[in-house]
Structure formats: structure tokens, C-alpha cells
Amino acid sequence: MEVIKQVHTIRERVQALRCSGKTIGLVPTMGALHQGHLQLLKASAAENDVTVCSVFVNPTQFNNPDDYELYPRTLDQDIALLETVGCDMLFAPGAEEVYPRQHTLLQFSFGALEAVMEGAHRPGHFNGVATIVSKLFHLVQPHRAYFGQKDLQQVAIVRQLVHSLSFDVQLVCFPTVREEDGLAMSSRNTRLSAAQRQVAPQLYMALKKAEAQLRQNPVPTIKAGVAAYLGQVDGVELEYFEIVDPATLQPVAGLDGMQEVALCLAAVVGPVRLIDNLLVNLNGH
């Protein structure tokens, strides 16, 4: 596996690959890789001639400087993992390589899509996401790009970005990979203490309880139930829980006529902010 840190080098490699007719898969990450990432990398290796993984902790998508500084960085460990799953290239640039001096951050607007959930609670977050994803798509020129469902709103934002800017790339989204106790795999999980790790699966339990109530209770009752359930868990502070249309991510007032909904939440466990979601087919029973 080749490790590339310069923009001009990744451009040269990609140009040569495309000229030779190779298909390229891209798995964008911020590192601290886990089985969720590896699932995406294995899929890319199976579907493309060349797989590129990017590892870049993107400063422009953090609205909390402390969160950026504390985000886990485990490049040596990541390299060892990448070599086990058929990754051909690692693009791991420094911040100054991606955002040169005098760089002006572009402004994106995603309308209603970014006015809810993560967009509402993390101002500027999706502008940073759109900026780095645009840069990676330009630099790597992938035929396919792979994302995980855990970041459901991010996938929707990237899908809109691809449509609006006419990127010639196919987005591939894979279901969330979970620990045995249900906790969604996340690089942030490594920051949880042993005690916090024990309570973190309650987020998934709250989603499952909400799922079980979908056909028996109105939306406000379900939302109140989730808030009450997590309110009784020491060390967990619910930031939001929403029942939304999976296509638009807009909150729904009722379930009449809905075929599928997404249950989405964010909560702080100790010092760590975690997100999770479930897609529920209402015609499944």
C-alpha cells in the first residue's frame, strides 16, 4: 500500500490510473479506523480496481475546537489495518496541504436539509463536510465513494452535493456496524471511559424502544418516552431525538402514509458526543 501525503502526488497517481482504464473506489475517513470503516474498504476492494482511503481530521467541520484537538489520531494503527483489507493507497495529507495559506472557506447552502438535527446543533459542520468531500472528489476522482449509515444526514448532504455540482461519482451507503451490545461503532468510542462505555449502549436501546412504539403511539408520545428513558441514565445527556422522513430528514408529525422513517438521536456520554439512527420500514410487519 502506498502512503501519499501530497496533493500533487495523489493527482498524478489518479490521472495515471484513469488513463489506464482503472476504476477507483474512495473511502473518506478521519482515521481511528474500526470495523465499520473496514466494511466499506472491503466493499470498495471487491467493486473497484483500486481502493483509496483518505485519513484526514478535517478542522473545518468541527465547531468545537476541543473536540477537534481531542479527536483520536492513530495513523500507524490505521496503516496496519488498511494493509489487511486490500487498500491500495492511503491519502493522509496534513491540514496545510488541504487548506493552504490564504485559503478562503467556500460557503455551501443545503437549505432545509441542514436546518435540522446535526445542522441545527453544529453550525457550520456541514459546510466543512461539503468542502472536504468536494476537495477529495476533485483530487481522487473516484468512480464510487463509500459512506456509513451512522452518519445518515452527512450521506444526504453529500448526495445533494453530488447532484448540485454534477460530480461523476456513485455514492454507496452501508448499514451501521455495531458492537455486540448494540453501540454503533465510532472512532469517538475510544474516548469513553470504562464506565461510560457501559452506559453508551443505552442510546441504541432507546432507539429500539422507540421502534417498538411506532405502531402504538403518536410521535410526541414516542419522543417524550425516549427523553424520559435516557433522562434516567446517569452520565447521558440527550441532545435531540427526532423521527424523520428518510428522504428529506425533516421531522414528521405523524406516521399516516409513511412507508419508512428514520429514528435519529445525538447524546453526550461523559465528554463524548455520539450519534445513532435506525431506519424502520413501517410495512415490515
Mean pLDDT taken over the chain: 96
Question: Which of 8, 37, 121, 163 is an active site residue?
Answer: 37
* pLDDT for res 105: 80
How far apart CA 27 and CA 90 sit, in angstroms, is 10
pLDDT tens digits, 48-63: 999 999 999 999 999 8
How far apart CA 106 and CA 169 sit, in angstroms, is 21
Q: Is the pLDDT of residue 285 over 60?
A: no
* pLDDT for res 284: 67
Instruction: Assign domain 2-174 to its CATH superfamily.
Output: HUPs (3.40.50.620)
User: In the annotation, is 37 catalytic?
Assistant: yes
* pLDDT for res 106: 86
- 174-187 average pLDDT score: 97
How far apart CA 284 and CA 12 sit, in angstroms, is 49
pLDDT tens digits, 234-253: 999 999 999 999 999 999 99
- The residue whose grid cell reads 476492494 is 45
Residues with Cβ within 8 Å of 185's Cβ and at least 6 positions away in sequence, in order, are 34, 35, 36, 150, 176, 177, 178, 179
Long-range contacts of 129-133 (CB under 8 A, 24+ apart): 129/58, 129/61, 129/154, 129/157, 129/158, 130/157, 130/158, 130/161, 131/58, 131/60, 131/61, 131/105, 131/106, 132/28, 132/56, 132/58, 132/60, 132/61, 132/98, 133/28, 133/158, 133/161
Q: Is the pLDDT of residue 23 over 80?
A: yes
Span 187-279: which CATH code?
Answer: 3.30.1300.10
* pLDDT for res 101: 81
Q: Angle at CA 228, nearest 5°, toward 242 and 282? A: 40
Binding residues for beta-alanine are: 61
| Domains 2-174 and 187-279 are alike in CATH topology | no
Q: What is the pTM of this model?
A: 0.95
What are the boundaries of each domain within the chain? 2-174, 187-279
Binding residues for ATP are: 30-37, 148-151, 177, 185-188
* pLDDT for res 283: 86
Binding residues are: 30-37, 61, 148-151, 154, 177, 185-188
- 144-151 average pLDDT score: 97
Q: Angle at CA 74, nearest 5°, toward 72 and 77? A: 145
